[in-house]
Amino acid sequence: MTPDQQDVYEPPQNIIDDAWIQDWRAVEAAAAADPQGYWAERASELQWSHPWDKVLDDSEAPFYKWFTGARTNIVSNAIDRHLTTARRNKLALIWVGEDTSKVRTFSYFSLNREVEQMANILKAMGVEKGDVVTIYLPRIPEIFFAMLAAAKIGAVHSVIFAGYSSEALSTRIDDSESKVVITADGSWVNGKVFPLKKIVDEAVRFSPTVENVIVVRNTETPVTMDSVRDHWYHELARLPIAKGHCPTVQVDAEDPLFILYTSGSTGKPKAILHTHGGYQVGTYTTLRYSFDIKEEDRWWCTADPGWITGHSYLVYGPLLNGATVLMAEGNPTYPYPDIWWQLIEHYGVTGFYTAPTAIRTLMRFGDAWVTKHDLSSLRLLGSVGEPINPEAWRWFHHVVGGDRCPIIDTWWQTETGMFQITTVPTMDQKPGSAGRPVFGQQAAVVDEAGDEVPVGTEGFLVLRNPWPAMMRTLFKDPERYRQTYWAKYPGLYLTGDSARQDEDGYFWIIGRTDDVIKVSGHRLGTAEVESALVSHPAVVEAAVIGLPHDVKGNSIHCSVILANGFSPSKELEEELRNHVAETLSPIAKPDGFDFPEKLPKTRSGKIMRRVLRARALGQDEGDLSTLENS
C-alpha cells in the first residue's frame, strides 16, 4: 500500500441518508451481473416515442449500438417532458454575465420558447435532419438554445470552443461541411472584447459550404455584416418564421446528436460522434446516480459548453434531470478571485463541479477570499479533467466544502460521453483517486500484452464493457476509430491513460500515455502545437512536450530548430508564443523554449520525447542507444 491510500474520508451520514443510492455495493454488484438489465432500467426512466428492440447490439463491434429500434429525441427528455409537470415553471437556467449585474433567467417553459424560436429559424434556413450546425458562442444562454434547437430538429451540432483561432475554426467547419454557423459579435474576457464575429469572417471567407451566419448581439461592439450571408439573431427573431410551436422531431436512438472535435496524437483533430438515445441515458444516469443530483439542486458546472464536460454536465445532464443550472460567463479570477464564491453564496449553489486547475489557481489567493462567503448551501463538490493532487483535494474539501461535502472525482473523456470512474458521494473518498468504475462498467490496468497487472502496478487503463454514452465512431473516419481505441487489445477500449489500481479497487489515474497533454484541463495534441510552430518562418522543426506545472498540471515546452538567419532570443520566444495563440488558440500558448542544434531522434526518425523531457527537467537522459548518431 502506498501512503496516500491510507488517507480516507468517510461519507457524512446525512449524505448517505438522502442519497438516491445508499448501498452502492449492492447496485454495483447487480449492475455487474447484468449490465444490459441495469441500463434498460435506467433508460425506462426516460421517455421514448417507440421502445427499443435491443438494449445493446454488438454484432458489428466495435461499432456498438444501443437501444436499437427505439425512437426518441434528447430534447423530449431534457425539456418537453418537464412542460407537462410542475417543473414547467421551475428555473431551468440562471445565467450570470461577467458583469454580474447582468442576469438572465429561464424557466423550463421559457427555455422551451427560446429553443423553439432558434429551431424555427434554423428550419427556415433550410437546416434538415442530419445537417451539421456549427456553434461558436461564448458562455451565454444562446449556446443552450442553439445546441438544443439543433437537436430538436434532428440536426447535428458541432460546438467549437469560442477561443479557437480562425484557422482552427475553419478546419472544423470545412471538415463537418456545415452550412450554418451560429456566433456572436464578441465575448467578454476579463473586461475586454474577444472578436468572435471577426474570427468567423476569416474562417468562412473561403468556405465552400457555409451559407448563413447567425450573429447574437452580446458585446454590442461594431462588426461587419455580409448582407447575404450574415443575420442578426434578434432581427431574425422578429420575423414570422421564428414564431410558433416547433415540434421535437423523433429520431432513431442511434441518429447523431453532435460531433465534438478533440485532440489526438496526430495534428488532425478527431470528430467524436455521439447519438441521441445512449447519450441521454448515460448523462442522465451518471449525474443522478453517481453524482446524486436531486430535484432541489442548484447545479453549477463551470466548464464551457465548448468541451464535453459542458455538453454532458452543464447542458444535457442537468436538464435531463429537471435541475436548475447556473452558467457564469466570466472567469474565476475576474474581477476578483472570490467571484465564484460570491456566486455560490448569492445563488445558493448546492452542487459545484469544476477542474483541479481552477481549484489550484484559487487556492493560491488564500483562504480569506473563500471564508468571507457563506458557502453553507453546498452539498456536493466535483472534480474533472485531470488528476487532482491531494493537497488541492484537501483544500477544496476543507475550505470550500467546510468538511461537509464529498468530492466526486470523475474520470472520463470526450469519447466516453459520461463518467466512467468516480467516487460516488456515499463511498469512502481518497484524495487523488478517481474511485471505481460507474455501475455497469468494469475497468482494468493492463500491460503491453493486455494482461492485467498486479495491484499497485502502473499500466494502461482499459474499459471492458461498452456503455450507452460511448462515442459511436469518428465522424467520417470509422477506421481511425477502430485503430485508435480498439486495435491494441481486441474487445477492450483503450483510454490512452496510465493508471494503477489499489487493493480496494480504486483507480489512481497517472496521466496520458500518448502525445496528448492536459494544460489547465484543456486537451491538446503536441502535434497541433508543433504544426502551429512550424507555420512560423523562423521555425524549421519543433517538438512539444508537457512538463509538470503546479497550477496548470502541465506546461507546454517547445524544442525548436531555427531557420538560417534566426537566433534564439526572448523576443523571438514571445513572438512564437503569440503566433501559436493566434494560429491555434490562447489555451495552447507555450511556456518554455529551448533551441537545440538538432532534435533527439531514433534511427527510424521518431522524436525521443523522453530525452527532451529529461533535458528540460535537468535529469539523466537515460538509455540513448537507440538515438541516431548515438
Q: Are strands 256-262 and 270-275 parallel, antiparallel or unpaired?
A: antiparallel
Q: Are 381 and 406 in contact (CB under 8 A)?
A: yes
x/- track of binding to ligand WT7 for residues 472-501 (CB under 6 A): -----------------------xxx----
Considering only 195, 351, 385, 525, the residue that binds ligand WT7 (CB under 6 A) is 385
Candidates 92, 93, 159, 308: give the one binding ligand WT7 (CB under 6 A). 308
Select the residue interacting with ligand WT7 from 35, 256, 322, 387 (CB under 6 A). Answer: 387
Q: Using the minimum distance from each CB to ligand WT7, give the nearer residue, 106 or 460.
A: 460
Compute the least distance from the CB of residue 356 to ligand WT7, in Å: 8
Q: How far is the CB of 80 from ligand WT7 (least distance, A)?
A: 27
CB 146 within 8 A of CB 154: no
> In the Cβ-directed half-sphere of 221, how many Cα atoms lie within 13 Å?
13
Backbone angles phi, psi at 421, to 5 degrees: -130, 125
| Nearer to ligand WT7 among residue 281 and residue 471 (C-beta) | 471
User: Please, which residue, 219 or 420, has the CB nearer to ligand WT7?
Assistant: 420
Considering the complex, what minimum distance in angstroms separates the CB of residue 508 from ligand WT7? Answer: 9
Which of 384, 469, 494, 519: binder of ligand WT7 (CB under 6 A)?
Answer: 384
Smallest separation, CB 158 to ligand WT7 (Å): 16
* Nearer residue to ligand WT7 within complex by CB, 221 or 513: 513
Q: In the 8-state DSSP scheme, what is residue 288?
A: I
Q: x/- site string to ligand WT7, residues 242 to 281, per CB under 6 A?
A: --------------------x-------------------
User: Do 441 and 537 form a contact (C-beta atoms < 8 A)?
Assistant: no
Pairwise CA distance, residues 155 & 333, whole Å: 36
Binding mask of the shown chain, residues 429 to 468, with x at each position contacting ligand WT7 by CB under 6 A: -----x----------------------------------
Task: Tell which one of 380, 509, 524, 538 touches ligand WT7 (CB under 6 A).
Answer: 509
Cα–Cα distance measured from residue 414 to residue 442, given in angstroms and rounded to the nearest whole number: 19
* Nearest distance from C-beta of residue 496 to ligand WT7, angstroms: 6
- Nine-digit cell at 515? 502525445
Q: By CB under 6 A, which span of 97-105, 130-138, 290-298, 384-392 interacts with ligand WT7? A: 384-392
Is the Cβ of residue 74 or residue 434 nearer to ligand WT7 in the bound state?
A: 434
Work out how close the CB of 546 gets to ligand WT7 at its nearest, in angstroms, rounded to a whole number: 11
CB nearer to ligand WT7: give 195 or 385.
Answer: 385
Per-residue mark of binding to ligand WT7, 513-532 (x: CB under 6 A): -----x----x---------
Residue 18's φ and ψ, nearest 5 degrees, are -95, -5
Per CB under 6 A, the list member of 512, 536, 557, 579 interacting with ligand WT7 is 512
Of 218, 248, 309, 361, which lies in the binding site for ligand WT7, with binding defined by CB under 6 A?
Answer: 309
Applying CB under 6 A, does 290 fall inside the site for ligand WT7?
no
Nearer to ligand WT7, 340 or 493 (CB): 493
Count Cα atoms within 13 angstroms, Cβ side, for 175. 20
Please give the radius of gyration of the chain, using alpha carbons only, rounded to the nearest integer: 24
Instruction: Give the cell for residue 332.
Output: 474565476
Contacting residues for 277 by C-beta, under 8 A, at least 6 apart: 43, 48, 52, 66, 67, 70, 72, 252, 253, 254, 468
User: Do β-strands 65-68 and 71-72 pair in parallel, antiparallel, or remain unpaired?
Assistant: unpaired
Q: Is 142 in the site for ligand WT7 (CB under 6 A)?
A: no
Tally of CB atoms within 10 A around 367: 12
User: By CB under 6 A, how many residues form the interface with ligand WT7?
Assistant: 22
> Residue 75 has which C-alpha cell?
430534447
User: Nearer Cβ to ligand WT7, position 209 or 413?
Assistant: 413
Question: Dihedral of CA 363/366/369/372: which sign?
Answer: positive
Cis peptide before 335 (omega within 30 of 0): yes
Cell of 414: 470526450
Q: What does 30-94 look like in DSSP terms, one character per residue?
A: HHHH-HHHHHHHHHTTS--SB--SEEEE-TTTTS-EEEET-EE-HHHHHTGGGGGSGGGGSEEEE
From residue 390 to residue 429, the character string flagging contacts with ligand WT7 as x (rule: CB under 6 A) and all else as - is: -------------------xxxxxx---------------
159 binds ligand WT7 (CB under 6 A): no
350: nearest Cα among 110, 94, 98: 94
User: Min. distance of Cβ 312 from ligand WT7 in angstroms?
Assistant: 8
Q: How far apart are CA 378 and CA 399, in angstroms?
A: 12
Which parts of this chain interact with ligand WT7 (CB under 6 A)? 262, 308-309, 383-387, 409-414, 434, 495-497, 509, 512, 518, 523
